[in-house]
Amino acid sequence: MSNKYQMIDVRVTAVEQVTPLIKRFTLCALDGSALPAFTGGSHIIVQMHDGDKLYSNAYSLMSSPRDTASYQIGVRREEQSKGGSAFMHDKVEVGSQLTIAAPNNLFAIDPAAGRHVLIAGGIGITPFLSQLYELQEQGAEYELHYAFRAPEHGAFADELRDGPHGERTRFYIDSLQQGLDLAALIAGLEADAHLYVCGPKPLIDAVINTAKAQGIADTRVHWEQFAVAPAEGAAFTLVLARSGTEIRVEEGVSILQAIEKSNAAEIECLCREGVCGTCETAILEGQVDHRDQYLSDDEKALQKTLMVCVSRARTPRLVLDL
Ligand code: FES
């Protein structure tokens, strides 16, 4: 495995507190050159050095794909932060230097859709902000449904309300009892409409399950969530075939953490969130519960490889080509 991502040194050129929990960061290449082009829904991986610690988080690009002079990301301070979001909030300021991986898109607009129905919850609004530029430029049919918990937590809501997508955007504010009726929304979809959802897991699950219950094909439902899947699930035995090493992977510990702790193999891992693909490893024996966003559904079904940073065994024993 080799790191297939171009790594770019960037400088933070603006920081804005958008809501009590969310900041917007603007990033420019350290050498002043243009940044790589990207498409709506793309993300970057941001590496942050904090002393001898290295944090690595994926963030959606929310600026216009037409603008490669700078990128913008929105970062929510996570209460359960692994450290990355707190570092971004507390230690990154104008002038700070970061390293990013060139953009990749796991949440692209599907050209097969006749209408694009975007559903955002909280910080899940960010990938849609870059998609909106693209949809408008394409003259596509689209609408945005944006739910957040209280008026002060509606990141970028004013920009959306007053901007070119205002008439296509509906807001749902929990504290004002403005619930989003997913069943009604999905029941009213045209046959060629596609759903896109990004936000907290319960919202993503609700959209997926409601769509399924209403007979919407999986290919018409797109979702994205950046967060480490909790290492929930039964303990199992991991065998590293090249050395014959056996490791017990306990509940609450990822395969990657278990291997790192035992020092039994070296694994390249850029994001540790199941989105970059650098830790992809061949499965020699056993079945895997895939929890990444990198592999397609078909690739997951083949059970040929897994992302060791987030996925777990479905069988008591898992043998990997390591
Ligand atoms: S480290 Fe990125 S997918 Fe595992």
Please state the domain extents for the chain: 7-104, 115-224, 236-320
Torsion sign over Cα 203, 157, 220, 103: negative
Any ligand 1 atom below 6 A from CB of 272: yes
Torsion sign over Cα 96, 98, 102, 104: negative
Best CATH choice for the domain 7-104 from the list 3.90.1300.10, 2.40.50.100, 1.20.1050.10, 2.40.30.10: 2.40.30.10
Terminal CA-to-CA distance of the chain, rounded, Å? Answer: 11
The first and second tokens of residue 217, run together, are 């094909």
The SS3 of residue 122 is: helix
Amino acid identity, residue 22?
I
The first and second tokens of residue 70, run together, are 């700078």
Any ligand 1 atom below 6 A from CB of 35: no
Q: What is the pLDDT of residues 93-131, one digit of tens each?
A: 999 999 999 999 999 999 999 999 999 999 999 999 999
Architecture of domain 236-320: Roll (3.10)
- Give the helix ranges, DSSP H, for 78-125: 84-91
Q: What is the pLDDT of residue 228?
A: 58
Distance CA 197, CA 223 (A): 5
The first and second tokens of residue 303, run together, are 């059970």
The SS3 of residue 272 is: coil
Q: What is the pLDDT of residue 2?
A: 45
What is the biggest distance separating any 2 CA atoms in the chain, rounded to whole angstroms? 61
What percentage of the chain carries pLDDT values higher than 90? Answer: 86
Q: How far is the CA of 307 from the centre of ligand 1 (A)?
A: 6
Q: How far is the CA of 256 from the centre of ligand 1 (A)?
A: 9
224's CB contacts (< 8 A; 6+ apart) are: 41, 60, 106, 107, 124, 127, 197, 198, 293
Torsion sign over Cα 97, 99, 102, 103: negative
- Note the CATH number of domain 115-224: 3.40.50.80
Q: What is the pLDDT of residue 233?
A: 87
Q: How far is the CA of 137 from the centre of ligand 1 (A)?
A: 33
Q: What is the pLDDT of residue 229?
A: 59
Distance CA 152, CA 287 (A): 45
Q: What is the pLDDT of residue 230?
A: 62
For all residues of the chain together, what is the average pLDDT? 94
Q: What is the pLDDT of residue 142?
A: 98
Any ligand 1 atom below 6 A from CB of 74: no
Q: What is the pLDDT of residues 150-171, one digit of tens each?
A: 999 999 999 999 999 999 999 9
Torsion sign over Cα 155, 8, 102, 258: negative
Q: How far is the CA of 185 from the centre of ligand 1 (A)?
A: 34
Any ligand 1 atom below 6 A from CB of 106: no
Any ligand 1 atom below 6 A from CB of 229: no
Query: Each residue's pLDDT tens digit in the chain (322 positions)?
Result: 345 789 999 999 999 999 999 999 999 999 999 999 999 999 999 999 888 888 889 999 999 999 999 999 999 998 776 788 999 999 999 999 999 999 999 999 999 999 999 999 999 999 999 999 999 999 999 999 999 999 999 999 999 999 999 999 999 999 999 999 999 999 999 999 999 999 998 999 999 999 999 999 999 999 998 765 567 889 999 999 999 999 999 998 999 999 999 998 999 988 888 999 999 999 999 999 999 989 998 999 999 999 999 999 999 999 999 9
Distance CA 303, CA 313 (A): 11
